[in-house]
Amino acid sequence: MDVELRHLKALVAIADLGTITAAAGALHMTQPALSRTLAQLEHRVGVRLVDRSSRRLALTPAGRTLHDHGRAILAHLDAALADTAAVSRPLRVGYNCAVLGRRTVPLLRSWRREHPHVPLELRRRDNRSAGLAAGDVDVAVIRTLPGDPRIRTEALYWEDRLAALPDDHPLAARDRLALADLTGETLVLCRDLSTASPDLWPSERRPRRLLEVRNVDEWLGAICTGEAVGVASAGTVESHAHPGVRYVPVVDAPAVAVHLAYPAHPTHPGTDAFLAAVRRLAATP
């Protein structure tokens, strides 16, 4: 029948917008050109597709059938083109404070070995979704839930918490601490990112003051200079060793869940393979 994509686009636009004028504008065509395209399509399929008896155009039963198939064909083409373009770029993995802690290097090595043609690109984004909400990354590892319906999340494993202290702090020489030991200290928090909050402490025994910073670099700076102390999960600790900061386990602080996050509609064809690789690694002791 020699039906072309331009014919299907014309039919879909007419059905969706209801008039030749509106459809022609959406397709950046003149009205006569769109009318000729529709007439060509009807001639090639051999049946009338659009009922022109009313002011607002309506599809005939045959037109509705071809419209449904045409919309699916165009959607599949868009997906194929998006996948083709995505293959030419790395799979972007977002994080804010840490990726997978001690599991990060094994993940990078196994991925490079098993998927040599799909490089990973780690991107730190200092926001709750680690860049997913803005479309900056294709998947992310996060420790605070983004609260965005477009993003799916699943818990991978749990991490212990540690206190981050200046290395000359009186508590830095201890092997372990309790939350009560930090009562009266100034607590530094990364805005929108911290897994710690004053709610970890009973209301009568909370840190005396809060200091908010924008990212983990500022967080480390406030701690090593003695301005404040912090509480972090093990992944952050393993990713951010600092000569002026001493990390001490906090025995009574609840563990932190590490979440895998990804968009409801994947933006890279390697997404499913990456999710499977992370799940396998998270399941290993």
**Nearest-angstrom CA–CA distance, 206 and 196:** 12
Helical (H) or strand (E) element with 230:
strand 230-233
Give the pLDDT confidence score for residue 88 in this predicted structure: 66
Give the pLDDT confidence score for residue 74 in this predicted structure: 87
The amino acid that residue 225 corresponds to is: T
Q: 99-125: buried (b, 16+ CB within 10 Å) or exposed (e) per residue?
A: bbbebbeebeeebeeeeeebebeeebb
Q: Can you tell me whether residue 120 is helix, strand or coil?
A: strand
Give the pLDDT confidence score for residue 151 in this predicted structure: 94
Residues of the chain with pLDDT under 50: none
Tens of pLDDT along 151-187?
A: 999 999 999 999 999 999 999 999 999 999 999 899 9
**Nearest-angstrom CA–CA distance, 268 and 123:** 15
Q: Are 245 and 164 in contact (CB under 8 A)?
A: yes
Strand partners, 121: 92
The amino acid that residue 219 corresponds to is: W
**Domains in the chain, ordered, with CATH?**
5-87 (1.10.10.10), 91-158+257-283 (3.40.190.10), 161-254 (3.40.190.10)
* 170 CB-contact burial (10 Å; exposed 0-12 / middle 13-18 / buried 19+): exposed
Give the pLDDT confidence score for residue 284 in this predicted structure: 82
Give the pLDDT confidence score for residue 85 in this predicted structure: 67
Give the pLDDT confidence score for residue 224 in this predicted structure: 97
DSSP 142: E
Residue with tokens 């009318």: 35
Tens of pLDDT along 68-90?
A: 898 888 887 877 777 676 666 89
Confidence (pTM): 0.69
C-alpha count within 13 angstroms, C-beta hemisphere, residue 226: 5
The three-point CA angle 256-279-76 to 5° equals 120
Give the pLDDT confidence score for residue 152 in this predicted structure: 95
Give the pLDDT confidence score for residue 191 in this predicted structure: 81
Give the pLDDT confidence score for residue 78 in this predicted structure: 78
Helical (H) or strand (E) element with 92:
strand 91-95
Residue with tokens 């910073």: 213
Q: Can you tell me whether residue 57 is helix, strand or coil?
A: coil
Give the pLDDT confidence score for residue 1 in this predicted structure: 63
The residues near 93 (Cβ < 8 Å, ≥ 6 apart) are: 99, 120, 121, 122, 123, 137, 138, 139, 140, 141, 274
